Amino acid sequence: MGRLAVLILLACHTAVWAAPAAKPPRLTLAPCKLPDYEGAARCGTWEVFENRAAASGRKISLRVVVIPARAEPVAPDPVVFFEGGPGVSVVDSAPSFVEELSAVLLHRDLVLVDARGTGGSHPLSCPQPEGLRGVEEALDTFMDPAAVRRCREVLARDNDLTQFTTDAMVDDVDEVRAALGYEKLNLMGASYGTRAAQVYLRRHPESVRTVVLSSVLPTDARVPTHLAAHTQAAFDHVVADCAAEAPCHAAFPDPRGDLETVLKRLATAPVGVPVRDEDGKERTLQLSKNGVVQTVRYLLYRPSGVRELPFVLRRAAEGDLTLIGQRAYDIASALLASPPDGLYLSVTCAEDVAFVDRDEAAQLSAKSFVGDLRLRQQLAACAEWPYAKLPASFLEPVSSPVPVLLVAGENDPATPLEWALRVARALPRSRLLVVPGGAHTFYGLEGVECLDRLTADFVARGSAEELDLDGCRNAIRRPPFARSLEELGTRP
């Protein structure tokens, strides 16, 4: 359905939208300016107990932002977005997704609540090494146990680290919903945010009108059990796609062999590679085998990275590590600016690592070029961190009659398609759109604009039954693999 049809459908709901909110608001917001966002916004704070069960003791001040609908009439049920990570500030990242949701947000407010432990809501930030040393550490390790221990010692002085869970986060958001006077919400989530949306739906079903889940993380994912295996599957998919595309196959007949050549070269010691930092200054990065593994894994996260991967590996296998070194530096720099490690540990140690079958995970990791590095390091990090002890019932699939739209990339190394299929089975009013060429994100695909229109149609209808999934899926294309620096459109 096109934008005009969506507007007509929205207009038909004017009488319903005129209904007042269920309760008068208790949280007063004031006009504010968000960095890198030119539109109107209203900001405020809301205090919640750190220990929600005790309902006493320390409080956490949550940052709350509402971006108002752009046109009349305004529907009474806003959109609430849950970000990934866990740990990404939804307020700070809003400028990157508000425009993508322009059709959805035309007649609906967008409510943003930085989850406890993130952004402007008492972030659980661990000190990060700076400069080139920090970049190299980010590539070589996941979370050093000694650094985790030091972070714990600092944060535990003023925080009960066992109180930072998805359950607590979504309960905070529901409290904010009530304080703002909204009766129903349209939930949206990406990556870890899809787990948060599912948990909200489980704990507060009466407050949910619709749900959109993009790159779906189930409650029983048990990361990092399958991380290495899923990365290997995504890489194998790229190898097969290159082989099926004649120009790619002619230029890069053996990407798997190229990767093996590079990893073998770096197996004994790192190699110094010239790179340029954010200011254009040349540095020498000590590129290790682990650094290459990390770089390949993260290039698989987005179609634009997938598009260049065979070319990057061929250059490296031929002896020129400059391009893969630059990609490694850029990726690691982004990791250093990533979500607060403390929040990530509190959530994932309680909800994933605590349920990992170590033998199963080790066997799966052994079959992948990723190996068991991430598995060993994440288990060691959680051994140093206090976290909530959750019942096994947390892993149970979320079942609900609420309408749900699921969107999954066909080649996602982090939240694979099989997970979206599993989540959908427990949601009888759900439909799943598989994005051709999609990875963990969809950046770099052609025609993905239809996702905004499809989502707007779904939220306006309050139903997934008559959505034109085929039309959107057929409009999306993966561009050809790059075969030169000119096609990459970027510096080496």
Q: Is residue 7's pLDDT more than 50? A: no
How far is 101 from 121, CA to CA, in rounded Å? Answer: 24
Look at residue 14 in the predicted model and tell me its pLDDT: 33
Domain ranges in the chain with CATH number 3.40.50.1820:
3-122+162-219+396-475
pLDDT tier for residue 51 given thresholds of 50, 70 and 90: very high
- Strand partners for 432: 406
Q: Is residue 118's pLDDT more than 60? A: yes
Please provide the average confidence, as pLDDT, over all residues in the chain.
Answer: 93
Say how many Å lie between the first and final Cα of the chain, rounded.
42
pLDDT tier for residue 3 given thresholds of 50, 70 and 90: very low
Say which residues have a Cβ less than 8 Å from residue 194's Cβ, sequence separation at least 6. 82, 213, 214, 215, 216, 217, 415, 423
Backbone angles phi, psi at 402, to 5 degrees: -65, 140
Q: Is residue 362's pLDDT more than 90? A: yes
How far is 70 from 348, CA to CA, in rounded Å? Answer: 37
- For 434-456, what is each residue's pLDDT tens digit? 999 999 999 999 999 999 999 99
Handedness of CA 398, 101, 481, 325 (dihedral sign): negative
Q: Which helix (H) or strand (E) holds 291?
A: helix 289-299
Structure tokens of 21? 């909110």
C-alpha closest to that of 199 among 220, 178, 215: 220
451, 443 Cβ separation under 8 angstroms:
no
pLDDT tier for residue 340 given thresholds of 50, 70 and 90: low
Lowest-confidence range among 32-36, 127-131, 228-232, 237-241? 127-131
- For 195-229, what is each residue's pLDDT tens digit? 999 999 999 999 999 999 999 999 999 999 999 99
Q: Which helix (H) or strand (E) holds 14?
A: helix 14-17
Radius of gyration for the alpha carbons in the chain, expressed in angstroms and rounded: 23
CATH class of 3-122+162-219+396-475: alpha beta
Look at residue 100 in the predicted model and tell me its pLDDT: 86
- Strand partners for 408: 434
Taking the model in full, what pTM does it have? Answer: 0.93
